[in-house]
Structure 1
Amino acid sequence: MLLFSTILVSLGVVFAREENVLMTEVFEIVVNPPLFNWTYEGKADQFVYQPSLLNAPDLPSWVNYVFSEGHHCGYLYGVPPNKNNARIQLEIVALNRKTYETRHEKINIHISEKLNPAKYEVHMKINNLNVEDMFEVERMDSLKDVYRKTLWKDSQNDIYVTFLSSAIKLGARRPLNPHEREGVVLRLGSQAPFSVELIELQEEVRPLWKASYPCPRDFKRTKVERLFRDAGFIMDWCSFRLIEDNNSALHQSVTNEKLLNSVENDYEDRWETVMKSEVPQRSYLHEFLFTILVPMFVMILLALVLSIILCFHHEGISKRMEDTPQTEINQYATIHRATQSLRSLSNNREMTLSPDPMLLSRSHTNSPTSTINRGVHCRPSPPPYVRPKFKPDL
């Protein structure tokens, strides 16, 4: 069984798909069911693809992947870095959602130098298309024909795409209407110098460069608008530029090289996993000491200061009491005794002038004429009877 697995792995390496790409030129690799010996059954979301570097979690930064729901396939595209004879190996894992079957395919990409790189480039933005739409051969040929037949006739032999990216990826906003296209930014390059028509077109749109980016779709109509509209392209003229540089076509690949530090013959830019034992461990001893010991030290220091203050204050009171003369103490005691005597006399006088109501009630209760002892509570006692004195008649 082990020998059989080894043979299969070796055969997979031998029969891996080979792709040759050129520096400064956008390449395209189609990822579809036939690549994995599957048959498309008419379901848009039946197959899912996950491309990456071999034995790595992600793609290099100069390789992009997009899935087209309209074409029911994926596209790997990008501009290779400035590394001649470099070689990388990609792995694509595919999942069939209907049967939950998983397959993988390896693709070897060889980077070669382009013999006649472009020296002149036309930078443009198309509002009504997405990146995956530009992989249609007829659509790309229609765009090139606008330049080859009318605007840039000298470039008909060597015009090619030197840059391709989504407008969203470059910082543009998504359209408010979800049915509208996101927009695509691309460059067409050639060794032929710019024509008079292209130079006049740039001068015509130059005032638009000061406008806020991006321009509205109907903000400005140029004299060549009809050429692009008939071919099915709505241009953003605020983004139209002519790039003239001896190394302009190499600019993108050099930029990619600086960002990546490129790829050597074996995957130099492959991300290496980190072992659990290599992960540094953090010690919380310093935070614990700072959180617990510092407040305790401050509390002890404040307690000592407060104790010292109270101690000196108590000693000051005792010292003042000791310094007080004995005559003053005797005088204070005499005044205190006199005050207590006056208070007691005042209380006795108040008791004499206003007897206690309780005592009065007791005296009335014990008196023989009290109505309470006789059981009469509502009427007072009658006055005593006095016999009248009669005078004799004269």
Structure 2
Amino acid sequence: MADKGSWALAITVCAAVFLLVRADSITEAPAGQLFVYELHREVFQSEFEPFHKLYGHIYNDPMVFKCNKERFPDLPRWLRFTQRDPYENGFLYGTPLPQDQGRNIIEIFVINKRSYETFRERLVINVGPAVKQMPYQAEFLIERREIEKVLPATVQEDIRSDIQNLWGTSRLEFVNITSALDRGGRVPLPLPGYFEGVYVKLGSDRPFSKCMLRLETAAHQRECESGGKITGDCSTCKIPSNCISWCRSALFDLSKPVPPAPVPTLGSGVLEWAGEFSPPESPPDRDFFPDYLVTIIVPLALVALLCLILAYIMCCRREGVVKRNAKTPDLQLYHHHTIQGNASELRRMAGDDRRTVDRPRQCLQPLLMAEQAMAES
């Protein structure tokens, strides 16, 4: 029984390891060449199939991809990820260098923005040594493209076809693709006809054509600086959005050995005699009393003057009750003094029984009497 249990445990472990290995996607990336891995939304859509079968609906769910190196918060330095919209595919792209050789395990988290379910997948990228030697490399700027629109294989093939006609050889490989924003470009306006621009770099073991060698001539540089018509532009493009900018193109000839940096000349290691050290003298004494007057006394004097002016306005310029009453007509003063009594009488009449309340006094009779007295006088 113990032997059967051990065999069952071993078979279970092997099956689990086999399923784990089958779950990982493994791909190769040679050093010095462009690596592109497209994350298709329709492939990950099947991971949420039980939900669709349960309710009988098929959705075009928006999905967001989050990628990072296993046990690290970000991607390797040579790898980048881009996804412009949740309804578009994502791309992992980059160019590994010879020092980046090794195994890279990338964790891909898929977030369904409709149901907020998540799915995790692992991508194993084995970076190996360079397969092809490309000593001749050229970089071109495509102004009417964005990085997500250039990474698909069909678009790369169209661009390669145009460069083949310019280069005169079919032995071309993509070395790198970079957004112009990563090279210091400006963010375009969110309007039709404005693009961020993409730099594409291709390499070959064949030398440059005569047409491409015009990029290194002084006449070509003067024409580009003047901003006039470029006479040496011999590039062609089948699709207008794939046309390259001839003045923003550059050639890199890696077939020529780079001269080593000059070796620094070694001196004797002894500093030259510059005489005896003469320390500076102490600075002269400075009188800080004028600074004290300007900083402390003057602001305090201004504050005191303002306080005196405010006190004079508030205390000495008041009109007073006696002077105010002397300037007010007697009729207006009498009317003002009787307002409170009249209000109390009205409240008393409204609150008590009207049959037990005395008849209201004639409020206007004293006023009329006062007016007659003033008229007679």
Normalising by the smaller structure, the TM-score range is 0.5 to 0.7
Distance of aligned partners of 1:78 and 1:72 in 2 relative to their CA distance in 1, 3 Å threshold? same
Report the counterpart of residue 207 of structure 1 in structure 2: 222
Deviation by residue 1:342-389 (Cα, 9 ceiling, x = unmatched):
xxxxxxxxxxxxxxxxxxxxxxxxxxxxxxxxxxxxxxxxxxxxxxxx
Preserved contact between residue 87 and residue 109 of structure 1 (Cα < 8 Å): yes
Q: CA deviation at 1:177?
A: 4.7
Distance of aligned partners of 1:226 and 1:53 in 2 relative to their CA distance in 1, 3 Å threshold? closer
What code does the residue aligned with 1:12 have? L
> Does residue 1:21 correspond to 2:29, yes or no?
yes
2:71 aligned counterpart, secondary structure: coil
CA distance in structure 2 between the partners assigned to 1:105 and 1:183 by the alignment? 32
Q: CA RMSD in A?
A: 3.2
> Does residue 1:143 correspond to 2:159, yes or no?
yes
2:136 aligned to which of 88, 112, 120? 120
> Does residue 1:245 correspond to 2:261, yes or no?
no
What code does the residue aligned with 1:107 have? L
CA distance in structure 1 between the partners assigned to 2:86 and 2:114 by the alignment? 20
> Does residue 1:227 correspond to 2:240, yes or no?
no
Which structure is richer in relative contact order (CA contacts within 8 A, separation 6 or more)?
1
The structure having more radius of gyration, on CA atoms, is 1
Distance of aligned partners of 1:49 and 1:5 in 2 relative to their CA distance in 1, 3 Å threshold? farther
CA distance in structure 2 between the partners assigned to 1:234 and 1:71 by the alignment? 27
CA distance in structure 2 between the partners assigned to 1:15 and 1:38 by the alignment? 12
Identity across aligned pairs (percent)?
22
CA distance in structure 2 between the partners assigned to 1:136 and 1:16 by the alignment? 22
1:152 aligned to which of 167, 172, 194? 167
CA distance in structure 2 between the partners assigned to 1:48 and 1:71 by the alignment? 8
Preserved contact between residue 215 and residue 251 of structure 2 (Cα < 8 Å): no
Of stretches 220-229 and 20-29 in structure 1, the one that deviates more from structure 2 is: 220-229
> Does residue 1:107 correspond to 2:123, yes or no?
yes
Preserved contact between residue 208 and residue 237 of structure 1 (Cα < 8 Å): no
What code does the residue aligned with 2:136 have? Y
Aligned residues: 236
CA distance in structure 1 between the partners assigned to 2:163 and 2:28 by the alignment? 27
Report the counterpart of residue 184 of structure 1 in structure 2: 198
Preserved contact between residue 46 and residue 98 of structure 1 (Cα < 8 Å): yes
CA distance in structure 1 between the partners assigned to 2:30 and 2:229 by the alignment? 37
What code does the residue aligned with 1:161 have? F
> Does residue 1:163 correspond to 2:176, yes or no?
yes
Q: CA deviation at 1:57?
A: 1.2
Distance of aligned partners of 1:30 and 1:54 in 2 relative to their CA distance in 1, 3 Å threshold? same
CA distance in structure 1 between the partners assigned to 2:34 and 2:256 by the alignment? 16
Unpaired runs of 5+ residues, structure 1, are: 249-394
What code does the residue aligned with 2:38 have? V
What code does the residue aligned with 1:152 have? W
Distance of aligned partners of 1:70 and 1:140 in 2 relative to their CA distance in 1, 3 Å threshold? farther
Report the counterpart of residue 383 of structure 1 in structure 2: none
1:169 aligned counterpart, secondary structure: helix
What code does the residue aligned with 2:127 have? I
Q: TM-score, normalised by structure 1?
A: 0.53
Distance of aligned partners of 1:159 and 1:226 in 2 relative to their CA distance in 1, 3 Å threshold? closer
Q: CA deviation at 1:195?
A: 1.1
CA distance in structure 1 between the partners assigned to 2:243 and 2:229 by the alignment? 11
Preserved contact between residue 63 and residue 86 of structure 2 (Cα < 8 Å): no
Q: CA deviation at 1:35?
A: 4.1
Deviation by residue 1:143-180 (Cα, 9 ceiling, x = unmatched):
2222323x211x31x20111111101111111235432
Distance of aligned partners of 1:74 and 1:168 in 2 relative to their CA distance in 1, 3 Å threshold? same
